Structure 1
């Protein structure tokens, strides 16, 4: 059932930040709910009252409940979920755990790839004498599964794809890419940092071996939390570079890797934040990801329409169906300066540097872009306020 005005009013009443700012930076960090904040604060108070270690022992069931919620979000098994400190940390750990590259090996990715992932791949390829190659795009700017199929050979050791690029509203066809990688038996990593909490993510339908997402964006969870999915049958392919007494407990005279995704966790963890993440995921599931997606789509379309009618503003988004990330430029005004001026009016937007999406930004000749991202919390009044402020600039 679609979200009603009463639903939005109730959700906004549970979100302290909407009283202070018109927030169009949900794709960087969203506004947390009182419900999530309450879970975090409650645990911190327990730490202060009885000791952090002792409170952590009592929170074991809460952490596993967060893992269960993440598994439900992705249509995965709880043992396929690791809780990490950031998406980049999880993706990097999984990538580093792959079999070592050899000269001539190939890593296939897209021009939209997140700069952090690309950095990991490029450095590893340079050390090994391997190559990072970019799959061509369709006319609408999305990665071409057909082109990928022609590039596959026995030297391809990984296909990596950012589902929703950080610099705009494009949505890549992750499931179609998954069909190609499954048929070829090639490992497939998906960066779902901008997707989780915004659109439905079914790892079975996607066909990926690894998927990472973050808690702080559209899930509205705390910073310092992320989800790493590792397909059960792919786990033994991965040999973590670092382990500790949790990820590889000492048994029978030596360390033994855990036989689930927790081999990518450590004994020390931000317990309060992970409890908050679990609560944020449960809240998103209760609202309904499909309903969230429907409202975000409607609000982002309204925002694009409003911005397109302002002289000097150019929309930059590619793709057919678009996400809630709206990218644009303003004549005679840098994205950084725009962000600063709007902040003085208590309106939050982002300026996205080329490093976030270096290949695609370079191909399009952009050093930075302005980005306004909506949430299901976003109202028409907030969109009108942003548009009015833009007109005055």
Structure 2
């Protein structure tokens, strides 16, 4: 496995010298290659107009499906581009046929952006949403899942990496169990793609949603969806337009037969090109090398924080990734975030409203979330730990 050239990736990241950035799980720092694509294309649109500028890059945009398929371990015709992970997830979920009496299973780390539409649509059609228990270490309990499964389960909604901590759920095992009763599996890979190798065919998932702005280091307003070719005939896309299909006669239309049926005509070409630049960057670095570098940094940060008096690290999971969650005794997570910002350290706060089952079960209203990417030096991580220690010492 190759290693990442730290000096090179830091040179590609203009913000690296300006503090310690620990929010790649929120919206990461794009490299200059992404910045140049987005800004350069907007300038070209100003010169010749959006349509002509788009047509000039049409071949590259078409090649983007194969590029994304390489990243995600699927076929190019199984890839769709959207404007966000939310749009991707909603488009896939909305296409799953549901009727009265159907059951939807979720895990305790289900994300609010998924839970709300799940509950909303289930109430509309008379389906139920049920939660699968976690193991003592926090992952979805696959044995408990098997006990809950029957022929009424239409969908298992699985979050690969939760928003509020570093555990990694066992996807392949969940898929195998769900498929035994004919249930579909929709994988929320929003927090995993870009920091871990995520190969859709290898995992066996039916649908996979993700974003460009987090660990992939792409622009905001970009997302992607994988829909397994064999599953597409079972789905009923409802949000369609003249890109998703063809108006073939006054009273007739034909929808596309590939994953692009989930795309809409209007899109940001500049942002799409920026996303493709981010994907190329990640592929060239190597997904295994990225995962190793992120994992090393997260573990160093966890260990350093755990050694600080008054600091509690709250990460679960036997397999952990790049998200580190913690609290400081005597300080609210929001106070910690703000005081760390004064020390040049960027973190964010995650609350119970985002991951309600898990946070309620553990009695945690809020957590500080830190997410170090491969472009950070180990010294910077130590600086962050020292800043947390200063915040902890300042508690009245």
TM-score, normalising length: structure 1: 0.97
Q: Note the 1:205-354 alignment, pairs <5 A.
A: 205-253=202-250, 254-354=252-352
Contact 2:38 2:273 in 1 (8 A): yes
What is the rounded CA distance, in whole Å, between the counterparts of 2:261 and 2:10 in structure 1? 38
Cα deviations by residue, 1:221-277 (Å, 9 ceiling, x for unpaired): 111101100001111222222211111221234221111111111111011001110
TM-fit CA distance, 1:88: 0.9
Partner of 1:67: 65
2:191 paired with 1:204: no
Matched residues in 1 for 2:86 and 2:133: separation?
Answer: 25
Whole-angstrom distance in 2 between the partners of 1:45 and 1:200: 34
Q: Kindly report which structure 2 residues correspond to 1:142-153, keeping only aligned pairs within 5 A, or say none.
A: 142-153=139-150
| Structure 1 counterpart of 2:386, from 378, 385, 388 | 388
Q: What do residues 303-350 of structure 1 show as CA deviations (whole Å, max 9, x unaligned)?
A: 111001111100100011211100001111111111111112221101
Q: Which residue does the alignment assign to 2:163?
A: 166
Which of these residues, 88, 91, 102, is aligned with residue 90 of structure 1?
88
SS in 1 for 2:15: helix
Contact 1:182 1:207 in 2 (8 A): no
Q: Distance in 2 between matches of 1:391 and 1:344?
A: 14
2:186 counterpart residue number: 189
Match of 1:116 in 2: 113
What RMSD in Å do the two structures reach over aligned CA positions?
1.2
Work out the CA distance in 2 between the residues paired with 1:136 and 1:24: 30
8 Å contact kept, 2:160–2:192: yes
**Alpha carbons 2:98, 2:127 under 8 Å: kept:** no
Q: Who is 2:394 aligned against?
A: none
**Corresponding residue for 1:138?**
135
Q: Which stretch shifts more, 132-141 or 216-225?
A: 132-141
* Whole-Å separation in 2 of the counterparts to 1:47 and 1:237: 39
Deviation at 1:356, TM superposition (A): 1.6
1:114 is displaced (CA, Å) by 1.0
**Cα distance in structure 2, aligned partners of 1:176 and 1:234:** 19
The equivalent of 1:361 in structure 2 is: 359
Q: Aligned with 1:318: secondary structure? A: coil
Partners of 1:315 and 1:196 in 2: CA distance = 24
Return the offset for 1:109: 0.8
Q: How far apart, CA to CA, are the structure 1 residues paired with 2:328 and 2:343?
A: 17
Moved over 6 A (4+): none
SS state at 1:148 partner? helix
Using the TM superposition, give the Cα deviation of residue 131 of structure 1 relative to its aligned residue in structure 2, in angstroms.
1.1
Residue from 36, 48, 51 that aligns with 1:50: 48
8 Å CA contact 1:101, 1:124 repeated in 2: no
Tell me, yes or no, if the aligned pair for 1:66 and 1:279 is still in contact at 8 Å.
Answer: no
* C-alpha deviation, 1:100, in angstroms: 3.1
SS in 2 for 1:232: coil
Q: 1:296, CA displacement in angstroms?
A: 1.0
Residue-pair matches, total: 390
* Alignment correspondent of 1:41: 39
Contact 1:65 1:278 in 2 (8 A): no
Is 1:3 the counterpart of 2:29 in the alignment?
A: no
> CA–CA distance in 1 between the matches of 2:99 and 2:327?
40
1:178 alignment partner, one of 175, 179, 184: 175
Please give the alpha-carbon distance, in whole angstroms, between the structure 2 residues aligned to 1:84 and 1:268.
10
* Structure 1 segments unaligned to the other structure (5+ residues): none
Please list every run of 5 or more consecutive structure 2 residues that lacks an aligned counterpart in the other structure.
Answer: 392-396
Distance across 1 between alignment mates of 2:245 and 2:135:
44
Instruction: Give me the whole-angstrom Cα distance separating, in 2, the residues matched to 1:346 and 1:69.
Output: 36
